Amino acid sequence: MKRAILYLESLNFIARGPALIATAIIVVTIGYAGWSGDRWRDAKRSGLESFEAEKLDALAKWRDGLVQIENGTRQAKPRDANPMSISFPAVLPPSSLGDFAIGHADLHPDSAEISPWRNPSSMFGRYQFDNPTTLASSRFDVVVVIILLLPLLMIAVSFDVLAGDRARGALSMVLSFPIRLTSLAWSRLLVRNGLLWVTAVLVMTCLLLLNDAGGDRYARFGLWLGVCLAYGLFWLTVIALCVAYIPTAINTAAALVAVWMVLALALPATVTTISEAAFPTPSRLAYLSEIRRAQTETNRELDRLTAKYLIDHPELTVGNEELPSFYRAAFISNQIARDRTRPILEAYEAARAGRAQTLRWAQYLSPSIIAQRLLNFTADADLDRQHRFQAQARDALEQLSVAVGPAVVSRNRLSAAEFDTLSLFSFQERSLAELAWLAAVPMAFLLLSSALLAVVAHRRLGAIRLHD
Amino acid sequence: MKSALIRKDSLVLRREFLLKALLAAVIALALISVMTGLQRERVFLHERAEAERIDKEVWMGQGERNPHSAAHFSRYAFRPPSPLALLDPGTSDFAGLAIWMEAHYQDPAVFRRAEDGGELSRYVMLSPAFLLLTAAPLLIFLMMHASVAGEREDGTLRQLLAAGVRRGHFFVGKFRAGWDITMLVYTPIFLLMAGCSLAASPAELSADTVFRLLAMYVAYAAYLSISVAVAIGVSALCRTRQAAFLALAGVWAVMTVLVPRFATDVGTTLTPQPDARQTERDLRAAAMVLSRDKERQQQIKDDVLARYGVEDEADLPINYSAYRLQVSEELSIPEFERVYGALEDRYRAQEGVLRWFSVLSPTIATASLSRGMAATDRVHQRAFTVSAELHRRDMIKLLNEDYMHNAGDAGSKYTADEALWARFDDFDHPIPGLVSIGGRYIADAALLLMWLCIAMLAGYGCVRRAVATEAKAA
Amino acid sequence: MTSTKNMLEARGLCKQFGPTVALEDFSLTVPEGEVVCLLGANGAGKTTTINLFLGFLQPDRGEALVGGIDVAEAPFEARRRLAYLPESVALYPKLTGLENLSFFDQLAGGSRSPQDLSKLLLDAGFPKEAHHRRAATYSKGMRQKVGIAIATARQARALLLDEPLSGLDPSAASTLGVQIGKLRDDGCAVMMATHDIFRAKEVGDRIGIMMHGKLVNMLDAASLDAREIEQIYLEHLREADASRHQEHAL
């Protein structure tokens, strides 16, 4: 029987049917998305590498100067080897699977300057140069193809697996043979959708090999495929359910398109809008205002603030008085800005946690939300990674401020030995185990709901009587 | 006969249960988008007003200070809120809201609200414009998919032909029935959303806003009319409801979801986004054009000494440092214009690709017109940044000139006070009138008009063909 | 005990759809090598009878047996012994006649070579030049002939035909009638639903007259001419109508 169905589908669907168009669409869209993602990632990587090299080069020169002053091989001017001039690069490296998903990675800062000149607001530099028109439409990455396009193609090739034959009268002819309707429906659904998914997996595997970026790319790809297939399985069972319950092809197609619209567009849009309204983040303008206030306060009360700092650090002795006061002013201003904006950042984190919590539950309303999140997580294109980078960079800045603050305020230099205890910034990635843990429950939900839908669809298919 | 056809088709459409259910869902989504948008805009307007107030407060309260130090501290320019932003937030969330008007440097607009968005915000965002651009065509396609294919499938088209119905009347009947219902639903929903948007805005209703609203209404009406014509045309190409439905679902997905995203991606792949770090380096270099050129510095000094007929800068009647700062500002201006001009060229090249893709999807041109009319597109953002830059130049010049002429013997120890700070006007950038920038939208309007004409002609052509095929079969 | 000669056997079959009685106490046997035509108007219960034998419907009472196997209990076992030809044989339009036949052959567990399949088509009177043309271009008569080839390929011992000759031109109907006769001669038990008295007389060995879900008479086709069969049929029709009017009046 399976041989017969394969024979039928190979001629009716694959050789002379919509399979060629559908597979061509998959090859072109995933292929293009991967190619364009790779170009984007390469550009990003090269920009980050040159930034990092430039900063590290400057840092090495600064240290050389300090060593020369310490060795007495160089006559030191007051501004030379000043601790305020220490500047570490902090970069968020593109993910090993970054060509598959762009997600939030094109909107947020991916580099920062860890320097006492900087405060938590200014450390990420000026990065807002992208065209807002193109940013607003989002990129066409592999996630878009998987989440939006593939379910539509699955619907297009599957909606008439029974209804088409039924309308032509071929179904009663086929079922006059010793074949179950359930076997017929599932076999055809599996052949048709299997072809689409095999094509998609093959194209993605080609991208994996062609755009190889090393690292944990292959392990991540394994998880990526798992999510894709679980999502595909969900849609397969939704289609099977509609095929089982709705006798006419037009109504099956209408219902499936409506389900797609609700699950892939309307629900994610509504969930986002409602969660953002329920957990508003503190305004960036309020953040700006606090920093401005901190700067004014420092300007007005530099002497009092310096004295306070020195009282808090009785071990300090004031060094070179020739050094301009704006070094000290800038440092203290940044410390005040940091302290003043801390509650705002905390409120921001609280709002973000609220939204994340909402989404953790709301994702179960739509498999598109689950798959979109998990794919972005797997390819490190999620919002959380951007925020973790910013938080880690802020922590690094704070550590540097603690290390150089006394020297800056007391107008002294750091020793080379003290400098060498400072460590370079390295972004702490989420481990694969964490990623797998994060994906476990939503994946289990996808699989369980698919299984449930499959059972209901199977029962219904088994109960269908052609002429009742 | 024509009115009988319109009446018949309207009746058939009104009796579609699926359509009523979907319409109810879309209206519910429209209400959610308006309610949440209202809340968002209110909060934002309050925060903006507060930020403006604090900016002025800290400027005025900065105490005694050297004017150049004040120029470094400077002020912020805040983007004016658009009264129609609720209707179409456009690109406003992805463009910076505030520009620091500091000395030496032309900053980009910073603080993009999209950076505060949630996990799914880059995937899809609900707004009235999103619903009109994506959900409305789907509803129309669902409503109209059987318009001709159903008549062919049921054989009623042949009966109509036998009754002497002309193909022109047949097309007009179908179009008017779909169009009447579409407008009947669209107009009140648009008015409701526009009303909420205006109510959320503190600005008084101006003639420009009314004109913009009218233009937006017409643009969407044209877009929806195109959708009606496309639905009839595709339906006429198909022999069965099923084929028509599937074809229209495909057209919808391609037209409203895939092509706009694909076009954006092609645009940014052909003309990549600028490397932010390189742009920052270029801007820094532009700011230091004089400080890095020792020869020029000397030449400027010589010129000014010669102009005042003195040999030492201490003998100059002006503060030379302040003079040099102002010259540096002026020398940096063309450099900044070059950097930002290159960025503008890059943006336009990307948007040019988008416009080319408008040939494949009217959604792109409509979206562009919609955000233009809502004053939430890049054209308006550019007007804001240009205006802020002009204000920055005036402000820094005034500060440098005060330093130049009043420093006297105090030199770099010279300080000014609140009397000087109060001489500066607040930054005020009204949204440019549509009359002044309307020309930027002619291409999109022409594309939409072209789409309308082609959709109508093609729709009629397809109906003609279907009628001819049926007549032959009869 | 069921005779192995009786390939198709109905025992007191009853089927009701809501308030409508589609089949009432229907009993019939069709032995191997015999064609029984069920003659009746639309709604007489002919198609319901065929659907009960196919297992597409479950009887409310009674049994439908194919080769002694109860269809309701073992529908797949029963279908292995059956072939079915509907009023309009539905083929896959993108496949050629030969490919359609190959598919249905494989569905029945066969694996005939293209040459064998081609021969089956030729035997069914299907023109050779159309073997490799897509089925979308076939006339109804051509599709019915492919249907006969499909039935032959199954080597079924029982054949159910649901109005297979309706809508065919006289020549095509006659050719198909000959093909059905051949199957009967090969030992196949044939049950054919029809409302065409003359075709029933031509093809059938026995003719069962059905009225409102009941088998009201069984005639020997060889001993009556078409006009006589028509007279008997119309008489039954009048009686049935009168009886229904009486029921309504009461």
| Chain-chain contact of A8 with C54 (C-beta, under 8 angstroms) | no
Residue A165 has what pLDDT?
83
Measured CA to CA, the distance from residue A237 to residue A242 in angstroms comes to: 9
Instruction: Tally the residues of chain C.
Output: 250
Q: Judge contact between A403 and A394, C-beta under 8 A.
A: no
What sign for the dihedral angle of Cα A350, A353, A355, A357?
A: negative
Beta-carbon pairs below 8 A across chains A and B: 267
How far is Cα of residue B347 from the mean position of the Cα atoms in its chain?
13
Residue C153 has what pLDDT?
87
Query: First-to-last CA distance in chain C?
Result: 42
Measured CA to CA, the distance from residue A25 to residue B258 in angstroms comes to: 12
Query: What residues are paired with C219 via a beta bridge?
Result: C207
| Chain-chain contact of A160 with B242 (C-beta, under 8 angstroms) | yes
Residue B302 has what pLDDT?
92
Taking only the tens place, the pLDDT of each residue in C170-195 is 877 888 888 888 888 888 999 999 88
Range A89-115 average pLDDT:
92
Residue A370 has what pLDDT?
96
Greater confidence (A27 vs A326) lies with A27
- Kindly report the number of other CB atoms within 10 A of residue B40's CB atom: 21
Q: Give the residue carrying structure tokens 């694959």.
A: A14
Residue A27 has what pLDDT?
94
The DSSP output letter for C93 is T
Greater confidence (A284 vs C248) lies with A284
Greater confidence (B60 vs A235) lies with A235
From C84, C90, C103, residue closest to A7, measured CB to CB:
C103
Measured CA to CA, the distance from residue A457 to residue A185 in angstroms comes to: 10
How far is Cα of residue C113 from the mean position of the Cα atoms in its chain?
28
Closest-CA distance, C80 to chain A, in angstroms, reads 6
Q: For residue A388, which amino acid is it? A: R
From C54, C106, C160, residue closest to A3, measured CB to CB:
C106
Q: Give the residue carrying structure tokens 């009225």.
A: C211
Q: Torsion angle of alpha carbons B419, B420, B424, B426, nearest 10°?
A: -60
Helices (H), B100-240: 128-130, 136-144, 149-154, 156-162, 167-200, 207-237
> Domain ranges in chain C?
1-81+159-250, 89-155
Helix, coil or strand: residue C3: coil
Write down the mean pLDDT value for chain C. Answer: 86
C2 pLDDT higher than 50: no
Measured CA to CA, the distance from residue A180 to residue A184 in angstroms comes to: 6
| Confidence category of residue A54, pLDDT binned at 50, 70, 90 | very high
A314 pLDDT higher than 80: no
A315 pLDDT higher than 70: no
Closest-CA distance, C166 to chain A, in angstroms, reads 16
CA A415 vs CA A63, A404, C87: distances in Å: 10, 11, 99
Residues with Cβ within 8 Å of residue C205, at least 6 apart in sequence = C34, C35, C36, C184, C220, C221, C222
Q: Judge contact between C8 and C53, C-beta under 8 A.
A: yes
Contacts of C82 in chain A (CB under 8 A): 176
Residues with Cβ within 8 Å of residue B69, at least 6 apart in sequence = A299
Residues with Cβ within 8 Å of residue B267, at least 6 apart in sequence = A134, B349, B350, B351, B352, B353, B354
Task: Give me C146's structure tokens.
Answer: 């492919």
Q: For residue A233, which amino acid is it? A: L
Contacts of A276 in chain B (CB under 8 A): 36, 40, 117-118, 121
CA B206 vs CA A301, B216, B368, B381, C169: distances in Å: 46, 15, 22, 20, 77
Contacts of C84 in chain A (CB under 8 A): 172-173, 176
Q: Give the residue carrying structure tokens 């091989």.
A: A73
Per-residue pLDDT of chain B (474 residues; tens, 9 = 90+): 566 666 766 666 666 666 677 778 778 878 888 887 887 788 888 888 888 888 898 888 888 888 988 898 889 999 998 999 999 999 999 999 999 999 999 999 998 988 888 888 877 778 899 989 998 998 899 888 888 998 888 888 887 777 777 888 889 988 998 899 899 889 999 999 899 888 888 888 899 999 999 999 999 999 999 999 999 999 999 988 778 887 888 898 889 988 998 999 899 989 988 888 899 999 999 999 888 888 998 999 999 999 988 988 888 889 998 999 999 999 999 999 999 999 999 999 999 999 999 999 999 999 999 999 999 999 999 999 999 999 999 999 999 999 999 988 888 888 898 899 999 889 999 999 998 988 999 999 999 999 999 999 999 999 999 988 877 765
Measured CA to CA, the distance from residue A251 to residue A51 in angstroms comes to: 57
Residues with Cβ within 8 Å of residue C194, at least 6 apart in sequence = C37, C38, C39, C46, C161, C163, C165, C166, C200
From B40, B113, B119, residue closest to A383, measured CB to CB:
B119
- Kindly report the number of other CB atoms within 10 A of residue A99's CB atom: 28
Query: What residues are paired with A113 via a beta bridge?
Result: A89
Range C48-74 average pLDDT:
90
Contacts of B44 in chain A (CB under 8 A): 283
Residue C76: closest C-alpha in chain A: A178
Q: What angle do CA B171, B175, B178 make, to 5 degrees?
A: 145
Helices (H), C124-169: 140-154
C117 pLDDT higher than 60: yes
| Chain-chain contact of B120 with A286 (C-beta, under 8 angstroms) | no
Contacts of C93 in chain A (CB under 8 A): 168
Mean pLDDT comparison of A213-217, A387-391, B11-15, C121-125, highest-scoring range? A387-391
Q: Do chains B and A touch (3 or more CB pairs under 8 A)?
A: yes
Closest-CA distance, C113 to chain A, in angstroms, reads 14
Residue B231 has what pLDDT?
96
Residue C18 has what pLDDT?
85
Range A362-379 average pLDDT:
94
Q: Judge contact between A357 and A314, C-beta under 8 A.
A: no
| Chain-chain contact of A17 with C104 (C-beta, under 8 angstroms) | no
Measured CA to CA, the distance from residue A371 to residue A369 in angstroms comes to: 6
Q: Judge contact between C192 and C204, C-beta under 8 A.
A: yes
User: Closest Cα to residue A426, out of A461, A399, A463?
Assistant: A399
Range C153-170 average pLDDT:
84
What sign for the dihedral angle of Cα B187, B191, B197, B202?
A: positive
Residues with Cβ within 8 Å of residue C69, at least 6 apart in sequence = C77, C78, C81
Q: Give the residue carrying structure tokens 């093609």.
A: B458
Class of C1-81+159-250 in CATH: alpha beta
Q: Judge contact between B185 and B22, C-beta under 8 A.
A: no
Write down the mean pLDDT value for chain A. Answer: 87
Taking only the tens place, the pLDDT of each residue in A341-355 is 888 888 888 888 888
Residue C3 has what pLDDT?
44
C1 pLDDT higher than 60: no
Buried b / exposed e across C205-220, counting CB within 10 Å, b at 16+?
Answer: bbbbbbbbbbbbbebe
